[in-house]
Amino acid sequence: MTTLIINIKQLVNATESYSLLRGDALAILPVINNAFLLVEDAIIIDYGSMDELKSKIPLLPQNVIDATGQFILPAWCDSHTHLVFAATREDEFVDKIKGLTYSEIAAKGGGILNSAKKVQAASEDELFQLAWMRLEEISKSGTGAVEIKSGYGLTVEAELKMLRVIKKLKEKSSLTIKSTFLGAHTYPLQYKENHQGYIDEIIKEMLPVIAQEKLADYIDVFCEEGFFSAEETEQICNAGIQYGLKPKIHANQLNLSGGVQAGVKLNAVSVDHLETMDEAAIQSLAQSNTIGTLLPTAAFFLRMPFQPARQLIDSGCAISLATDYNPGSSPSGNMNLVIAMACIQMKMLPEEAINAATINGAYAMEVADSLGTITIGKKQI
Ligand code: NIG
Ligand code: FE
């Protein structure tokens, strides 16, 4: 079906030339005032100013929508979520109010381990239904592409179960979905003193099946003190690379973990979180093709300092914004909230935040050829 949208107050990020944005370029957001947009079967066919409508579209289609007073933007590209989970962790929310830190909650069996127990007990169908509802919810708030991680399974069976749920979501949803294997999210209790034992399970038992069933696009590791070291991160990601999975890494959330430098060395698509950065980590990222994905709602819900967005942008790092939607540290998949926080708390300009949540987010999922800007041939959502 062909649909023409007319009288659009502002058509945002409309451009025929796009690239990964860094430095001053992040603040350049092409807009067309009083615009039209022509869409056929969810693909953008044409757009321009209303002054050009008659010459560009002499024969109007039957389906015309008047968008007087309204803005149209490309859909949000949320490049970091954990939206397959069995239950939220509001009990830990109270622990946090009482003063426990993320690491202290994790050390007493809460956090990721708590979510893993619940995912292990849930059926594939239950997990699918819950995740489906969350996809519908984020789609209503403007998200058109989303990356989803495993990582609450932590056994061969439960990690594969999560990835199969994501595969089914990909097949059934109209959203564009990328899948990330995060078996290395934390050490299961039985491997607390035997890290190499769990790493071997990831490499020898999980990765071969994941590759065979094509269950993931990326590999992720929580590179953090008390979780996986930079060396362990490299070992796991290099094994993933052998199976065709590119790294996207949880780095520098709670400490200077070496995760940023490890990610750059591995040519990771992105290093995500970055609450805790020093000059060496910033310079290493600035001089690489790796994208720094900032997750302001994770900092907010954990009452942590926000990511140093200004410093990262001004140093030339390519950054994107994402929700980190998960049952504990970021129980929200709302990209609008992420953008508001990026502006209010991290001093990003609105133009920078919108670019970071659209075109740069699309690059952080390698879908920039079909999403992230209003461009002829790209998807409407
Ligand atoms: O990105 N930091 C590690 N992983 C997730 C949190 C997972 C959880 O707390 O359940 C994150 O914030
Ligand atoms: Fe995360």
- Degrees to nearest 5, angle at CA 124 with 154 and 367: 80
pTM exceeds 0.95, yes or no: yes
Cα of 262 vs centre of ligand 2, distance in Å, is: 17
What are the CA-CA distances from residue 312 to residues 118, 180, 309, 346 (Å)? Answer: 37, 25, 5, 11
Query: Is 328 touching ligand 1 by the criterion CB < 6 Å?
Result: yes
State residue 220's pLDDT score.
98
Query: Is 321 touching ligand 1 by the criterion CB < 6 Å?
Result: no
* Letter string b/e over residues 90-120, b meaning 16 or more CB atoms within 10 A of that residue's CB: eebeeebeeebebeebbeeebbbbbbbebbb
**H or E element in which residue 85 lies:** none
Q: Write out the two tokens for 285.
A: 């990222």
State residue 175's pLDDT score.
98
Q: Which of 369, 376, 381 is nearest to 20 (CA)?
A: 369
Write down the domain spans for the chain: 2-72, 76-364
Give 89-106 pLDDT, tens digit per residue. 988 988 989 999 888 998
Q: Whose CA is nearest to atom 3 of ligand 1?
A: 222
Q: What is the CATH number of domain 76-364?
A: 3.20.20.140
Give 293-348 pLDDT, tens digit per residue. 999 999 999 999 999 999 999 999 999 999 999 999 999 999 999 999 999 999 99
Q: CA-CA distance, 172 to 174, in Å (whole number)?
A: 7
Q: Write out the two tokens for 53.
A: 């409508």
Cα of 324 vs centre of ligand 2, distance in Å, is: 5
Pairing mode of beta strands 218-223, 246-251:
parallel
Q: Whose CA is nearest to atom 6 of ligand 1?
A: 329
Computed from CA positions of residues 169, 174, 179, 185, in that sequence, does the dihedral angle turn out positive or negative? negative
Alpha helices in the chain (DSSP H): 53-56, 90-97, 102-107, 112-121, 124-140, 156-172, 195-200, 207-212, 230-242, 259-265, 279-286, 296-301, 309-314, 335-344, 350-357, 359-363
Cα of 341 vs centre of ligand 1, distance in Å, is: 19
For residue 147, report the phi and psi dihedrals to the nearest 5 degrees: -100, 140
2-72 under CATH 2.30.40.10, yes or no: yes
Cα of 121 vs centre of ligand 1, distance in Å, is: 20
Ligand with minimal distance to 226 CA: 1
Query: Is 112 touching ligand 1 by the criterion CB < 6 Å?
Result: yes
Q: Whose CA is nearest to atom 12 of ligand 1?
A: 329
State residue 91's pLDDT score.
85
Other Cβ atoms within 10 Å of 42 Cβ, number: 11
Q: Write out the two tokens for 266.
A: 């591995």
Query: Is 329 touching ligand 1 by the criterion CB < 6 Å?
Result: yes
| DSSP assignments along 249-268, one per residue | EEESSSS--SHHHHHHHTT-
State residue 93's pLDDT score.
87
Query: Is 115 touching ligand 1 by the criterion CB < 6 Å?
Result: yes
Q: Which residues of the chain have pLDDT under 50?
A: none
